[in-house]
Structure formats: C-alpha cells, structure tokens
Amino acid sequence: MVQAGPVVGVHLPKDRVTQSTQGYGFVEFQTEADAQYAVQVMNMVKLFGKPMRINMSAQDRRTQDIGAKLFIGNLDPTIDDKLLYDTFGTFGPMVQMPHCARDQVSGNARGFAFVSYASFEAADAAIQAMDGQYLANKQINVQYAFKKDAKGERHGSAAERLLAAQAQKNDRTL
C-alpha cells in the first residue's frame, strides 16, 4: 500500500481464539486523495495468488453513495467479480467492488450482480454500452437497481441525481 501514498496506520483483525488473521485489514492513509488512489490502483492486484479487494471504509462509502447502482442480469455462471470489474470499470470509478450474487449454501452463481459507480454519468454510459450485449456468450441486461427501502422504485431518478449534484457541490465548498 505504500506505493499508493503515505500510510499512517495498518490494522489486521485477528481471531480471538486462534490469533490468526481473518483475511482482511484496514489501511489508513495520510490524505483522502491517497486512499482514493489506492482504491483505483491496487484493487484486484494479486497478493499471494489472490486478487485483493480494495474499498473505502464503510463510513467513507456512506458519504459517497449517490445511488448510481446498477443491476446486471442474465449472467453466465462463469462470470466472477474480477471479470465484472474489468468490464464495467472502463466506464468510470466505482464506489465499491462489483458483487456477483451467489447461493449461500452451494456457492453457485445466481445469475445477477450489482455495480455501484461514483457518478450517474458513468452508470448511464455503462447502461448505454452494455445493455443487450453478450458477456461469456449470454446476452446480459443492465439497468438501475431497485432501491432497498422503496418498493418498485429504481436508483437513477431525477431527484436522486439532483441530490447527488448538490452533495458534490457541498463537498467542494468545504
């Protein structure tokens, strides 16, 4: 992580019983810009043969969540998070790593995924370019995801876009 910027601290949570690391950690950078750079550059870089998932912390993510969340349907079972990241990452920065839905018991793919962008422009570009295209020999559909707390309402509404623009304007003035 030092390649991305000055590191202030590192925390690797350990299991209370075995004292072994739990497979994830937290890195604090000197500036938010360094942390954002680390997310962009270090995400999916392999460490000991496994790709790392790099995200901003949940607290930081809450302030970035603008509602540009997409649903990708009719996915082939061979599609994984890395392929989605490589495919959909070309349209703009993502707020968090793409997530392929899997059955909790069997671990089998459920045929859909979610991608969250940092801007509506990136989400709109992804929808325009990818909806109806073929990914791993299956035609996929890409659209704004349904909101969790509002029945039948999708992300990407005019009101949500206005709120996001206002939030970005307020962030610049701070």
DSSP assignments along 64-105, one per residue = H--S-EEEEES--TT--HHHHHHHHGGGS-EEEEEEEEE-TT
Amino acid at 144: Y
Cβ atoms 58, 16 nearer than 8 A: no
How high is the mean pLDDT of the chain? 82
pLDDT per residue over 120-144, tens digit each? 999 999 999 999 999 999 999 999 9
The structure tokens 């994984």 sit at 80
Confidence of residue 65 (pLDDT cuts 50, 70, 90): low
Over residues 97-103, mean pLDDT: 87
Instruction: Check residue 30 and give its pLDDT.
Output: 78
pLDDT per residue over 84-99, tens digit each? 999 999 999 888 888 8
Over residues 3-26, mean pLDDT: 80
